Amino acid sequence: MQRTLIILKPDCVQRRLVGPILSRFESKGLTLVALKLVQASRAIAEQHYGEHRDRPFFGGLLDFITHGPVIVGVYEGPEAISVVRKMLGKTNGAESEPGTIRGDFSVSKQNNLVHGSDSPESATREIALWFRPEELVSHQLSGHEWVTG
Ligand code: UDP
Ligand code: MG
């Protein structure tokens, strides 16, 4: 089992796509371990996207991600990190395959709706950045064996 962090970015919240997007992850068979609505501070956004500090889009990205509330969540499941990344599609919505979240709902490089951790190391770091340990609820859904086999 793996855990991964997702962020439904401000464009997702403003476009009222929270329900349809959480529904995709739920239908896929991922299990929610944590979920909350937060207004991200510039400080947490800078830490979250620290790897991009020297990129030309960094300032704009921080403006974007702090522009309104986001939904932050943790999902658990087999290969959860790569499963979510595949469901997101490519970074640029205009280049993402139809059927992916970005491919179906975005034509933008920046406003691409959802973040997903890209590696086990990133997932560990990002989950600890956004959640206190007691906010993570370990549990098993009844009938889970029908989903994970
Ligand atoms: N981004 C941007 N301009 C770019 C590349 C990325 O605004 O040229 C934004 C976009 O919102 C993206 C985020 O920065 O999701 C992080 O970039 P990364 O390359 O890590 O993409 P991701 O891992 O989200 O697919
Ligand atoms: Mg990335």
Could you read off the pLDDT of 117-137 as tens digits, one per residue? 999 999 999 999 999 999 999
- Ligand 1 proximity of 68 Cβ (cutoff 6 Å): no
Residue 149 lies in a domain: no
| Residue count of the chain | 149
Residue 147 lies in a domain: no
Predicted confidence band at 66 (pLDDT cuts at 50, 70, 90)? Answer: very high
Q: Is residue 102 part of a domain?
A: yes
Average pLDDT, the chain: 98
pLDDT mean over 64-76 = 98
Residue having the nearest C-alpha atom to atom 11 of ligand 1: 110
Q: Is residue 18 part of a domain?
A: yes
* Interval 12-29: pLDDT, tens: 999 999 999 999 999 999
CA 49 to ligand 1 center in whole angstroms? 9
Q: Nearest 5°: phi and psi at 129?
A: -70, -40
Domain for residue 132, yes or no? yes
Structural domain boundaries, residue 112: 2-142
Ligand 1 atom 3, closest CA: 110
Number of domains composing the chain: 1
pLDDT in tens, 78-128: 999 999 999 999 999 999 999 999 999 999 999 999 999 999 999 999 999
CATH number of 20's domain: 3.30.70.141
- The residue from 52, 115, 139, 144 that is catalytic is 115
What b/e readout covers 30-44, taking b as 16+ CB neighbours within 10 angstroms? bbbbbbeeeebeeeb
Q: What is the pLDDT of residue 44?
A: 98
